Amino acid sequence: MTKPVTLSNEAYEALKKIKGKDMSFSDVVLKLVKQSMGTHDFNKFAGTLKAQASELEKFKLQIEEDRERNVENM
């Protein structure tokens, strides 16, 4: 199903600049909406943090200690 949409010349030209040869205007709009809603592919970040198991265990212990301290201070 398609819906007609009216755009200003400025909006049309802006979308046209983003649009690739193999993209439709609908593709461009959907891409921009997803970006504005924070929908990103987080898989591209997979493996960027290459911490050692011992470092991760230290972080975990520190978090647990901080949580316990926060509960005691309540």
Q: Are 31 and 22 in contact (CB under 8 A)?
A: no
- DSSP string for 25-61: HHHHHHHHHHHHTT---GGGGTT-----HHHHHHHHH
Tell me, what amino acid is at 14?
Answer: A
Structural domains counted in the chain: 1
- Structural domain including 16 reads 9-39+50-72
Residue 25 lies in a domain: yes
| Model pTM score | 0.47
- What are 4-17's pLDDT values in tens digits? 999 999 999 999 99
- What are 21-59's pLDDT values in tens digits? 899 999 999 988 887 776 556 666 677 767 677 888 888
Residue 54 lies in a domain: yes
